Amino acid sequence: MAEIVIMVTGSSGMVGHGIQLALEEDKKPNEKWIFLSSKDADLRDREATKILFEKYKPTHVVHLAAKVGGLFNNMEHNCDFYLHNGPPHFSSYGYSYAKRMIEVMNYVYNDQYGCQFTSIIPCNVFGPHDNFNLTGGHMLAGLIHKAYLAERYDQPFVIWGTGKPLRQFIYSVDLGRLIIWVLREYPEIEPIILAADEEDEISIRDTGELVVKAFGYQGEIVHDVSKSEGQFKKTASNAKLRKYLPDFKFTPIKQAIEETVDWFRKNYEIAKK
């Protein structure tokens, strides 16, 4: 069989590590995976990017390099971030329209050049190697960092907002498994939503309780209702994913949070925060 060379950009982040962990259980002998980060090349530089492609000659690319952040980072830097169902939420319209343009580009490159590009739409991702910044990172990662500090310094554990909004989460290792499947098997240009099942949607309050239980924290839990908490509900349907993979098993969120907390505890000094 001909060798398949898969170049992964932005691989030093949470999703890149999720793919690497997933490959430990599902790597094919004819696949050569190359994991790159910003240290290898500035992808905003056309010539540097061209040199990278000439060096590795990839047959496939998983493009993960991106500017990412949580709700508050999106709200404060909408211009910097520049699901089709009407206008996106105001809190992240810059980020959202940028993602929509990726879909448009996938179609036009297919029409004009025959390229087989697609994009994925994951729900809220969490896991080891996330950005655990208290304000600029992802919500669940921020809760984990807050719980760590609350336990360590005997402080209240503060959840921003009422905790009532509902969210879907996907563990980074599960996302890694699904990205590998998309690369190998998914035949469509149309994007695919990679999200946990709708019945697994969970409130921010209940998510926080799972986090503090994972730490063994038994102190005070406080809700700061002066803080914005975004949309109440933004459920994504994974019906297309289930059409292709009806038997895919998502890691239970309790287990996934416990594994992420364990990683964060062991790697606190080097974790992104």
Annotated catalytic sites, by residue? Answer: 95
Secondary-structure percent of the chain, ordered helix, strand, coil, rounded to 5: 45, 15, 40
Residue in 12, 16, 61, 36 with CA at minimum distance from that of residue 173:
16
Between CA 187 and CA 185 the distance in angstroms is 6
- Pick from 143, 178, 212, 190: which is nearest to 23 by CA? 178
**DSSP for 148-174, written as a single string:** HHHHHHT--EEEES-S--EE-EEEHHH
Instruction: Please calculate the CA angle 223-228-234 and round it to the nearest 5 degrees.
Output: 105
The Cβ of residue 107 has, within 10 Å, a number of other Cβ atoms equal to 13
Q: Classify burial at 189, counting beta carbons within 10 Å of its beta carbon; exposed 0-12, middle 13-18, buried 19 or more.
A: middle
